[in-house]
């Protein structure tokens, strides 16, 4: 546990913010690498990441509010605290980030399938890095557990985060492992895909399975939030599966 990573003079660098920034850098590197391999202008990745970052934060905040409405019903003005990095949800960030990136793709007249595929590899790599920050910060924690690998957070973190009885499932570490597994699987099979866009659709399906499973172990202040995100995962899996099935009609350009 190390919410404050280090200090540079009067400036305190927080672990969550540091690893979130590092996650964007890792995502850019992976996306840049893939786009170069596809003989596209890889430098457009900087515009895409900036758009995805803004759209992602807004989308992630909206989904958090929907899933934890009881926290805001009496303090609605706190909904607009987009800088609260502990009140973000991946699915909302993913949808908001993709929509913002698609807008850039349209303006720059790029191949949407190739760019989405680069994101299909970049997102799991970035997520794995970001979850390190979650673990050090103490957010996105799990339910109480008596398993040998359960973790106990400091009393100050327990009180600040509203944790259940410690020790708890290290859900941040669970997701790091799953994200890296998704990345390895996609890298291993990406050359076998016949059409553009299939890497991203496959990522959505794999992450939906991972997130559905994680929700059995993750703790939310709103007990119904687990079911909400599991239903969201089922919906994402089905939509991505149907899109993969009818891929040629959605993204017509062939590999």
Range 31-58 average pLDDT: 80
How many whole angstroms separate alpha carbon 236 and alpha carbon 243?
10
Average pLDDT over residues 75-80: 57
pLDDT at 114: 86
Does the pLDDT at position 237 exceed 50? yes
Instruction: Give the residue, 32 or 213, on which the prediction is more confident.
Output: 213
Instruction: Specify the pLDDT at position 130.
Output: 92
Least confident of 127-136, 151-160, 175-184: 151-160
- The pLDDT, as a whole number, for residue 191 is 84
Q: Each residue of 118-131: pLDDT tens digit?
A: 989 999 999 999 99
- Whether pLDDT at 85 is above 60: no
Q: What is the mean pLDDT of residues 132-156?
A: 90
Q: Residue 96's pLDDT is what?
A: 84
Q: pTM value? A: 0.79
Higher pLDDT, 56 or 73: 56
Q: What percent of the chain stands above pLDDT 70?
A: 85
Is 30's pLDDT higher than 50?
Answer: yes
Mean pLDDT of 27-46: 82
Q: Closest by alpha carbon to 64, among 44, 84, 39?
A: 84
The chain-wide mean pLDDT, for the chain, equals 83
In this prediction, residue 238 has a pLDDT band, given cuts at 50, 70 and 90, of very high
What percent of the chain is modeled with pLDDT above 90? 35
pLDDT at site 188: 94
pLDDT band, very low/low/confident/very high, at 255 (cuts 50, 70, 90): very low
Mean pLDDT of 138-166: 87
């Amino acid at each position: 546990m190390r919410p404050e990573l280090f200090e540079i003079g009067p400036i305190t660098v927080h672990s969550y913010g540091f690893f979130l920034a590092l996650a964007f850098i890792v995502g850019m590197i992976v996306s840049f690498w893939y786009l170069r391999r596809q003989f596209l202008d890889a430098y457009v990745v900087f515009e895409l990441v900036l758009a995805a970052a803004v759209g992602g934060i807004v989308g992630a905040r909206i989904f958090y509010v929907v899933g934890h409405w009881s926290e805001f019903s009496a303090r609605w003005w706190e909904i607009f605290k987009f800088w609260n990095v502990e009140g973000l949800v991946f699915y909302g960030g993913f949808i908001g980030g993709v929509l913002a990136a698609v807008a850039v793709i349209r303006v720059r007249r790029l191949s949407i399938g190739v760019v989405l595929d680069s994101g299909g590899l970049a997102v799991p790599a970035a997520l794995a890095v970001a979850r390190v920050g979650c673990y050090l910060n103490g957010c996105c924690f799990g339910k109480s557990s008596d398993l040998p690998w359960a973790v106990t957070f400091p009393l100050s973190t327990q009180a600040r985060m509203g944790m259940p009885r410690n020790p708890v499932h290290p859900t941040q570490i669970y997701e790091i492992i799953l994200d890296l597994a998704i990345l390895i699987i996609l890298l291993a099979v990406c050359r076998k895909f016949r059409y553009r866009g299939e890497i991203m659709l496959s990522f959505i399906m794999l992450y939906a399975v991972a997130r559905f499973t994680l929700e059995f172990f993750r703790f939310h202040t709103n007990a119904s939030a687990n079911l909400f995100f599991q239903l969201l995962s089922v919906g994402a899996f089905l939509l991505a599966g149907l899109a993969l099935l009818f891929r040629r009609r959605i993204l017509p350009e062939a590999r």
